[in-house]
Amino acid sequence: MERISSGASTSREISTSPENEINFTIRKCRVEDLDQILEIEKTSFPNPYDRSLFTHFLTEGASGFLVAEKEGMIIGYLIFTNQRKLGTIVSIAVSPEYRRRGVGRRLLEATLNQLSGKVNIVELQVSAKNEDAIEFYRKFSFRQTAILRMYYPNGEDAILMSRKF
């Protein structure tokens, strides 16, 4: 799935410390979450998915669609598939104001837990320019397996990353 981050994050400036920790829950996405997910999407990607694609993932197109919820507000989401022992992270995004507070980590850990025992490998594609996301995935033992030259419509390369189970 094609994903290029807008690179609008200022998250590098936020150091991880106990005061940065926030309380939130991870749960399955519901249709009423989509408005807020679309807002996160618009602030996270220059080529945001539209409502019909999210609805597709919610109803039939994905094996899992998780959200992070803080006091009734959606602050992140992750969509994944599981086909023939191959898990794929289709998309993940966290609200810019909540990045570097462990939201992406919890979403990814919940996904890996759900895929555990069902897949041999989990993979994803990320823009070669999306250093934040590449660092995030590396932190969770994803490693580069290929470069897909000129993969995106704007000519950017994609990196294929994977993690064995």
Ligand X SMILES: CC(C)(COP(=O)(O)OP(=O)(O)OC[C@H]1O[C@@H](n2cnc3c(N)ncnc32)[C@H](O)[C@@H]1OP(=O)(O)O)[C@@H](O)C(=O)NCCC(=O)NCCS
Residues that bind ligand X (CB under 6 A): 3, 5, 9, 11-12, 16, 44, 92-94, 99-105, 126, 130, 132-133, 135-136, 139
Are the C-beta atoms of residues 74 and 31 closer than 8 Å to each other?
no
**Of 117 and 130, which has the nearer Cβ to ligand X?**
130
Q: Quote the least distance from Cβ 113 to ligand X, whole Å.
A: 15
**Of 16 and 59, which has the nearer Cβ to ligand X?**
16
Are the C-beta atoms of residues 51 and 79 closer than 8 Å to each other?
no
Q: Quote the least distance from Cβ 80 to ligand X, whole Å.
A: 12
- Whole-number Å distance between alpha carbons of 140 and 113: 13
Q: Quote the least distance from Cβ 59 to ligand X, whole Å.
A: 22
**Of 54 and 117, which has the nearer Cβ to ligand X?**
54
- The Cα-based distances of 134 to 18, 39, 51, 86, 127 in angstroms read 24, 23, 26, 20, 8
- Whole-number Å distance between alpha carbons of 126 and 73: 27
- The Cα-based distances of 124 to 13, 23, 25, 77, 140 in angstroms read 26, 28, 24, 15, 13
Q: Quote the least distance from Cβ 162 to ligand X, whole Å.
A: 13
**Of 117 and 142, which has the nearer Cβ to ligand X?**
142
